[in-house]
Amino acid sequence: MRNRFLQDKRFLTSSILLAALCVLALIAPIAAPYSYDAVGVGPNLAPPSPQFWMGTDVLGRDLMSRILFGARVSLAVGFCTAAFSLVLGTITGAVAGYFGGRTDRVLMTVVDVFSIFPMLLLAILVSLVLGRGFAGIFLSIGLTTWVTQARLVRALVLQARELPYVEAGRAIGLSHPSILFKHILPNLLGPMVVSLTFQIPNNILTESFLSFTGLGLQPPYASWGTLANEGFRGLLSYPHLMIFPGLALFITMIGFHFLGDSLRDILDPKSSIGSHTHS
Amino acid sequence: MFQFLMKRLLQTFYTFAFLIVATFFLLRLAPGGPFDGDKVWPPEVKANIDAKYGLDRPLVSQFLSWAADLARGDLRESFHYIGTPVREIISEALPPSLLLGGWALLIALVMGIALGVLSAWKRRTWLDFSAMFLAVSGITLPTFLIATLLVLLFSSYLGWLPPALWEDRKSMVLPVLTLSFRPLAIIARMTRTTLLEVLHADFIRTAHSKGLTETRVLFKHALRNALIPVVTLLAPITASLITGSYVVETIFQIPGLGQHFVTSVIDRDYPLVMGMTLTFGVVLILCNLAVDLTYGLIDPRIRLEKDS
């Protein structure tokens, strides 16, 4: 198993890339040449130059510093919302799949209701109630994406509960929670990890959509989506303001995409279903 | 079939009702009202306005009277565009959005399946690699970056197409291309993966050994089976087209539904928000139903009555 990780070039390249991104985000205060909200460190709307590698924005703020700080927001949203949907989705899906019958029907109806709720609308409503901040974004993405995880885990548990080791567990008198959480779920870790590596980038992308529509964090805080939104107004004259945040997002997406692909081949050779998402 | 349809319709009705009720009450939870603009009204005027629109009554009774109007097909008048019926606003904004989404979906389906088949058929050739490069970039590029690049290339640099607005056919090209790129990529990848899997199945070997030509085996036997998972993708893809179309409509300044989605909520234009929610709900539900029915057409083995 360990060898398969080390031999897979896609896995190595993409995990090094993503690790580097996370480190850059963590050390943003040290790595960034300027502060993200320092106004007028350079001329306004300057194109990329040796001093300002990615140019400056309308208030003369250094774009590269803003993108480095934006990485913290974008990555944090991606990881936190994925963790939220992992926990909520796994518990719901596992319980529904394992117990079946009425429990299954009730839980899956809840899942259906959530999956039909238009995310944009939910995001707007949540941001109205909670205000436009991290909590609002987190909740609106989390509440619309956990259903995917719930459906996946339910399908996996449905298959697993018919297997001999589960029957053996029942025969020696293990309790249901112990069979489900100590025996079945650890066996499903592979597909769950794979689905998580597809969920994180999707959520990052979704956050960028929300911020792009003006529903995200408020200035001076910035995620990549907010930055692109600021750049969008001057698209034709100052394309660098939109291209660099977009590129940052693109590189992150590529990293997660290949990480997910390689993990799927390593951990879950049976499935071949790709990254299908909304957003 | 009929039984299945009825069951699905009933289930759809529940979710739809929940959507409506949740939106109505969540909207009222939010602070601020429709007439809290820049002007500060004298309390008597404010009370008068609230009484005129029934905003002073308890929430539940407001909801019931709104639902009663809805049952008669009346969506009421907008608070923001005073005097304009919500139905009129929506029926003006719906055609551009449907056109944009419909074309994008059509292009994504046709081109996506074609690219997927091509790269599975010519596996490990430059055709396969370039098709999959396109697919990966479609999945990983954010929509606004795709739009930026297309506008810079085709409007700014080459000057072939207008950078925005929704007037003639030429102005529709870039928005439709932008919106279709991501679903196209997802469909192409899915088609390739499932087609490659199907090509290893026993019935394909049988078809070959019967002496059928390769193209016949590919299109008549393999593709039909490979398309089933692709159909599954259509429901999330349609949902993504709706969200995606908002971004595309903003960038290209298209007078579609997208423009009302955010502003109506910010204006607390309650009747318009409810009208928008209804419209989106209906579109989404119709798409999901269509997908369910398509399954049965493509794969006769799927019996809808027993399922779900």
- CATH code for position A146: 1.10.3720.10
Q: Is A15 part of any domain?
A: no
Q: Cβ of B99 under 8 Å from any chain A Cβ? A: no
- Per-range mean pLDDT, top range of A50-64, A108-122, A170-184: A170-184
Q: Which two three-digit tokens encode residue B183?
A: 């679903």
Is the model's pLDDT at A253 over the cut of 80? yes
Rounded (to 5) percent helix, strand, coil in chain A? 70, 0, 25
- Please report whether residue A16 resides in a domain: no
Q: What angle do CA A54, A60, A62 make, to 5 degrees?
A: 35
Band of residue B296 on the pLDDT scale cut at 50, 70, 90: low
Segment B63-81 shows an average pLDDT of 83
Q: What is the overall mean pLDDT for chain A?
A: 81
Average pLDDT over residues A63-83: 88
Question: Is residue A219 one of the residues assigned to a domain?
Answer: yes
Lookup result for tokens 């034709």: A236
Q: Which domains does chain B have, with CATH numbers?
A: 95-259+288-307 (1.10.3720.10)
Query: What local confidence, expressed as pLDDT, does residue A232 receive?
Result: 75
- Indicate which of B24, B28, B132, B144 best probes the interface with A, i.e. most A CBs within 10 Å of its own CB: B144
Between A125, A213, A250, which is nearest B250 by CB? A213
Note the ipTM here. Answer: 0.73
Q: Looking at the complex, does the CB of residue A131 fall below 8 Å from at least one CB of chain B?
A: no
Q: Specify the pLDDT at position A273.
A: 44
Give per-residue pLDDT as tens, B173-213.
889 999 999 899 989 988 888 888 888 788 888 888 888 88
Q: Return d(Cα A136, Cα A124) in angstroms, integer.
A: 9
pLDDT averaged over chain B? 81
At residue A123, the pLDDT reads 76
State which residues form the domain around A113: 63-269
Q: Minimal Cα–Cα distance from B140 to chain A, Å?
A: 5
The 10 Å CB-count burial string (b at 16+, else e) for A187-213 is ebebbbbbbbbbbbbbbbbbbbbbbbb
- Report which of B87, B79, B75, B91 is spatially closest to residue B20, judged by C-alpha positions: B75
Q: In Å, what is the CA distance from A269 to each residue of A65, A102, B155?
A: 41, 33, 45
Of A173-177, A241-245, B31-35, where does mean pLDDT reach its minimum? Answer: B31-35
Which B-chain residues 25-54 have CB contacts (< 8 A) with chain A?
A: 26-27, 29-31
Asked if residue A171 belongs to a domain, the reply is yes
Contact with chain B for residue A228, Cβ under 8 A: yes
Domain count, chain A: 1
Only one residue has tokens 């944090």, namely: A76
Q: Is the pTM of this model over 0.90?
A: no
The predicted pLDDT at position B170 comes to 75
Cβ within 8 Å, pair A228-B11 = no
Question: B232-255, pLDDT tens digit by residue?
Answer: 777 778 767 876 778 888 888 888
